[in-house]
A = this chain, B = another copy of it.
Amino acid sequence: MSETLNLTRNQELVLKALLHSQGPLSAYQILDELRGEGLRAPLQIYRALDKLRDRKLVHRIETLNAFVACSCHADHAGETVAFAICEACGKVEEFSDEALQKRIGAWTREHDFLPARTTLEIKGLCAACH
């Protein structure tokens, strides 16, 4: 699977670290996990993350300064991706809500604002934690 993605060694290592994690990881946490593989500097992680984010294989959680592997079931074409973040167990659920996007689109049209990227992060307690 990763083979078909033509990832470089560093990119593949970073992606696997995120896939194996239960929750979001900071760049420095990823680095610590990959020191055994020979990675030493933060920049090696950030560069891999940048490429993975370009390809929507990884997302950044702005409110946590951390990263998650994409768990999208559908495609990312033009979608606004949102996250529900449990403050108890740390799990992050990625989702994309059609109606929500429509509402955001309605606001931007009404206010003549040309949107480029939308960040939507909801913090609270997941079903298992309340």
Contact = CB atoms under 8 A, between A and B. Distances in A.
How large, as a class, is the contact surface on chain A?
Answer: 20 to 34
Given A63-B62, A84-B111, A108-B84, A122 B130 contact: no
A120 interface: yes
B100 A113 contact: no
A98 B64 CA distance: 26
A112 B100 contact: no
A104 B112 contact: no
A100 B112 CA distance: 17
Contacts of A114: 124-126, 130
Given A62-B62, A100-B103, A103-B99, A119 B116 contact: no
A12 interface: no
A29 to B, nearest CB: 19
